[in-house]
Structures are given as C-alpha cells and as structure tokens.
Amino acid sequence: MVEFTTQFCDSASFSQTALRQYGRYEKDADFTQLPILNEHTVITYITEGSGSLKLGSSMHTIEPGSILVMFPDVCVNASALHGPIQLMWAEMSGDALPKILARAGLTPQKPILSLADLGDNCKTKSTLAQLTAPDTELGALAAYGLAMEMLDYLVQESPRPCQPKVSNLQQYYVEKSIRYIKTKYPQDISVEDVAQYCGLNRSYLGKLFRDATGMTTQEYLIRQRMSVACHYLEIGAAPIATIARSVGYPNQLHFSRAFHKVFGIPPREWQKRNRKNAK
C-alpha cells in the first residue's frame, strides 16, 4: 500500500529574507561600548547581563532571556548596561523581515521582549545557540535554515504574537484556505481541518468563503478533488479505486457517490465518454 502525505508551507511571503552574518558577543564590566548604528537588522538574545540601553530616543531594560532587535538606522547607546554582558546575534535583512518580526510583536517602537520564562525550553535560544556555536562551521544553506528556524520559533514563543496585517482580512483567510485545500486534498481532510488551520470557527470561515467565492468551503474542496479526478480519468492513469484514494477518498463507493452528485453520471461512465470524445 502506498501512502502519500503533504504538509503545506506558506513560505512565499518570507522568501525575501537574508542572513548576512552571526556570532556571539561578550563585554567585560569595565569595557566602554560606543553608540552603534546598524545598516541591517540585528536580532540578539541576551544570555548574561542586565541594565538599560537607549534605542533611538527611547530607554529600554534588558535581562537574561531578553530578545533585543536593533533595527536599521536606529542608534543604540548601551552605556548603561551592567557587565559582563554575553549575547548571541544574527544580522539579517530583506523586505519580509519586518513583517516576520512584527508577527512576534517586535517593532522599532517595541524592540524588546522577554523569553526568560521558557528557560532551557526556549527553542529560539537553542536554535540561535546552534547557529552561533563558535566550534561549528556551517554551510551557507545550513546557516540560513537555522536562522529561518529561529525566526519561526520566535514568532511561536512570543508572548505577544500579532495577526499579520493585510488590506483585506477576508481575502487573507480565503486565500489561505484555498492554498491549504489545494495542497491537502489528497488526504482525508474535512472543512473542520481547514478552519482549524486558519484558526477560525468553521461557520465564520464558511461565511467568508461563500461571500468571496460564491460557494461553501466544502463545495470548493469537492470541486478541487473532482477536477483532479477528471484529469486522471481522462488519461486513464489508474484504476478508479486508486484515483479515488489519490484525491482523498479511501472508500471508492464514497468517491463514486460524490462524483455522481457533481456530474450526474458515475465516474466510469464519465471516463468512457471523455476518453471517446478525446479520440
């Protein structure tokens, strides 16, 4: 028996993100730190030390477990920190980066959050530690992968995660639902699974979907499956039972009933007519 599973990855909007450099930083208690002005975004995790620092015109307090983001062209004055200071950092850039950080609640106005409560269970910390380990040499792709993994954990572990801002929230959820359906239709998914993926109530998602497309979420899911099934039937790619499983119907009888409801004829009859017409 062949099993085929997929996991949807909504990564297209994050693709414009680059890792430029990374490492670790230590400062002795008697070391004077000059003001810093960064060209790119620097994400830091404070492992030791505390105190106050000035970002632009605002004062902020840090402690071990703090995530500090130094945004481009914002002057950082760290003269009020109490040493020794130890931190891990990654310098990144790209048009998508501010949007990702905003989902974690990190903006130029709110550049610090604390993950101290997570302790050793903090995946943001452990991934950044793996990336910046001084005795490990990583290839560019491996380092980039860890940086993106760190950002993903940062969003997940943030105590103040934010919903992505879109011009039309209805369109955002409908498009998200459609992408999920087009990826997951080979599996035995339900409308409830689609709603759960979007983080919405099933009824509310159904209303948004109907208003935007003129059909219910269930109808769209069925049409997606039937469209693919028709293609397989037309080219005679496999037995009907196999085609049924490949579009999310483990039971051939259930597939045939659904197909008949949509097209008014059984799948085998549809196949005969369309393969004949194709000649």
Both tokens of residue 186?
A: 């080979």
Task: Taking the CA atoms of 266, 267, 268 and 269 in sequence, report the sign of the dihedral they define.
Answer: positive
CA 81 – CA 61 distance, rounded (Å) = 9
pLDDT by residue, tens only, the chain of 279 residues: 444 455 555 665 566 789 999 999 888 765 556 677 788 999 999 999 888 888 888 888 889 999 999 998 888 887 667 778 899 999 999 988 988 898 899 998 899 999 999 988 999 999 999 999 998 889 999 999 999 999 999 999 998 777 655 557 788 888 899 999 999 999 989 999 999 999 899 999 999 898 888 889 999 999 999 999 998 998 886 899 999 999 999 999 999 999 998 888 999 998 888 875 444
Residue with tokens 């943030």: 158
Q: What is the pLDDT of residue 155?
A: 92
Is-same-fold flag (18-157; 166-279)?
no
> Per CATH, which fold does 18-157 belong to?
Jelly Rolls (2.60.120)
CA 152 – CA 57 distance, rounded (Å) = 29
CA 35 to chain centre: 34
Q: What is the pLDDT of residue 235?
A: 86
Q: What is the pLDDT of residue 163?
A: 63
CA 88 – CA 150 distance, rounded (Å) = 12
For the chain, give every domain's residue range: 18-157, 166-279
Rg (CA), the chain: 26
Q: What is the pLDDT of residue 279?
A: 46
CA 26 – CA 199 distance, rounded (Å) = 42
> Per CATH, which fold does 166-279 belong to?
Arc Repressor Mutant, subunit A (1.10.10)
